[in-house]
């Protein structure tokens, strides 16, 4: 335990200091946490040892991240009309990047389905703050939200399916497991449909003195993560479903945001991103000139496959050119899920250290540049006014 004292002290100091530094520099906090992890990890100071406690914090941070992703997903806002309008954008946002990754995989020597699935991902966590700003036309905002939510969910299930297949879990039993997971996935919808929400809310409110809602949330994460793992899926699916259920049964939106998000973004999730950054070995990537070519291709292909594919689909859906390009840029901004995919893939030995580092760099570059470029494309006059 003594060997963890200094590393954890440095990590906790980083958790406290990173948000104000990120605000001053204009970086997304998550990106700053990854960069901090790179500095204290294998890329520079190598302060983070391999240890079960660090592995636990990192794994639970990932499950909690998926939990908050599920909690932020509000299916009530996804209307039938929005589904119809967003269908082409969703299909292209998955198919074009998947085919791009599938083709590139033969060149970088990794499973084709795995890289294709990793390229499919987008980031609901980066999109929600943009939508809350209220600077988009209603139709654009509606299709952006619907398409990003659907792409996130589909790529999450694709990722779980591919990882289970590569682990050898796709046996006859897997089909039954898949049915159980789907049943759990529709449980929040059933709670809303059967009007159970009010009964559960009233029951939980009676015990608010003991923070029963927070206890329930943590219990849901552990139980559903364990169930999904036992069924041959990864814990990320269980964490996501736990978030969907929590969003339906926890009584107060303010409580969910103040307490559960504070626990997550204030402690567990930063540890996941910092420890993920610490695994990145940049000197290993830059030691070989050929790796730089692969890095540029991975980053460019990952971003352009979304921009071009979604942009063309958006034009067919009736958007103006600027809106189409902006929609493609917003879809190209990847963060949480691509990092989760890279993290799980390297733990399972499915990708090399160099490819892991390249995928993290893709996440950092796209998350930093794409949202800002998307806003600038949509409203160039506002950007010039700010200057």
DSSP 178-208: HHHHHHHHTHHHHHHHTT-HHHHHHHHHHTG
The Cβ of residue 77 has, within 10 Å, a number of other Cβ atoms equal to: 11
Using the Cα atoms of residue 357, residue 358, residue 360 and residue 364 in order, give the sign of their dihedral.
positive
Rounded CA-CA distance 309/333 in Å is 14
Structure tokens at 382: 């506002």
Per-residue pLDDT at 195 exceeds 80? no
Overall pTM > 0.95 = no
% of the chain with per-residue pLDDT over 70: 85
Per-residue pLDDT at 31 exceeds 50? yes
Per-residue pLDDT at 300 exceeds 50? yes
Nearest by Cα to 370 from 328, 320, 333, 326: 333
Distances (CA, A) of 360 to 16, 32, 38, 61, 310: 23, 12, 10, 17, 22
Q: Is 95 helix (H, G, I), strand (E, B) or coil?
A: helix
The per-residue pLDDT for 35 is 93
Structure tokens at 152: 């996130």
Structure tokens at 59: 């794994």
Structure tokens at 289: 């000139």
pLDDT band with cut points at 50, 70 and 90 for residue 361: very high
Structure tokens at 189: 């919808």
> How far is the first Cα of the chain from the last one, in angstroms, to the nearest whole number?
51
Contact by Cβ (8 Å): 144, 330: yes
Per-residue pLDDT at 278 exceeds 70? yes
201 vs 355 pLDDT, higher one: 355
DSSP-assigned letter for residue 26: T
Reported as type and span, the H/E element at residue 106 is: helix 80-108
pLDDT tens-digit readout, 209-248: 556 778 888 898 999 888 887 776 777 888 888 888 888 7
Distances (CA, A) of 75 to 72, 301, 340: 10, 31, 23
- Candidate ranges 56-70, 159-173, 369-383; pick with highest mean pLDDT: 56-70
Burial class (CB in 10 A: 0-12, 13-18, 19+), 59: middle
pLDDT tens-digit readout, 53-102: 888 888 888 888 888 888 877 766 666 777 887 899 999 999 999 999 99
Packing angle, helices 212-230 and 172-185, rounded to 10: 160
Nearest by Cα to 332 from 97, 32, 117: 97
Q: Which domains, and CATH codes, for the chain?
A: 58-379 (1.20.1530.20)
């Amino acid at each position: 335990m003594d060997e963890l004292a200094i590393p954890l002290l440095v990590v906790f100091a980083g958790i406290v200091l990173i948000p104000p530094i990120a605000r001053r520099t204009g970086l997304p906090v998550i990106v700053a946490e990854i960069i901090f992890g790179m500095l204290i990890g294998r890329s520079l100071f190598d302060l983070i040892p391999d240890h079960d406690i660090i592995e636990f914090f990192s794994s639970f941070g990932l499950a909690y991240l998926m939990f908050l992703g599920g909690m932020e997903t509000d299916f009530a806002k996804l209307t039938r009309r929005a589904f119809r309008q967003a269908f082409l954008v969703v299909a292209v946002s998955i198919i074009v990047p998947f085919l791009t990754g599938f083709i590139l995989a033969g060149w970088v020597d990794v499973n084709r389905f795995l890289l294709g699935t990793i390229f499919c991902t987008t980031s609901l966590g980066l999109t929600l703050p943009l939508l809350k700003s209220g600077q988009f036309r209603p139709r654009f905002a509606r299709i952006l939200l619907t398409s990003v939510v659907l792409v996130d969910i589909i790529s999450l299930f694709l990722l779980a399916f591919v990882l289970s297949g590569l682990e050898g879990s796709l046996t006859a039993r897997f089909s039954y497991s898949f049915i159980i997971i789907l049943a759990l996935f529709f449980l929040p919808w059933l709670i809303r449909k059967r009007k159970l929400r009010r009964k559960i809310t009233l029951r939980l409110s009676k015990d608010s003195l003991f923070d029963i809602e927070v206890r329930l949330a943590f219990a849901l994460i552990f139980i559903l993560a364990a169930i999904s793992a036992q069924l041959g899926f990864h814990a990320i699916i269980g964490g996501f479903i736990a978030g969907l259920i929590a969003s339906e049964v926890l009584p107060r939106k303010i409580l969910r945001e103040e307490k559960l998000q504070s626990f997550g973004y204030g402690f567990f999730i930063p540890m996941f991103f910092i420890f993920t950054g610490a695994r990145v070995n940049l000197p290993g990537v830059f030691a070989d000139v050929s790796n730089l070519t692969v890095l540029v291709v991975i980053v460019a292909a990952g971003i352009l496959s979304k921009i071009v594919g979604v942009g063309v689909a958006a034009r067919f859906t009736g958007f103006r050119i600027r809106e189409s390009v902006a929609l493609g840029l917003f879809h190209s901004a990847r963060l949480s899920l691509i990092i989760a995919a890279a993290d799980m893939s390297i733990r399972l030995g499915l990708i090399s250290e160099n490819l892991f580092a390249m995928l993290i760099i893709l996440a950092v570059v796209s998350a930093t540049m794409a949202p800002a470029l998307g806003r600038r494309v949509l409203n160039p006059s506002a950007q010039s006014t700010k200057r």
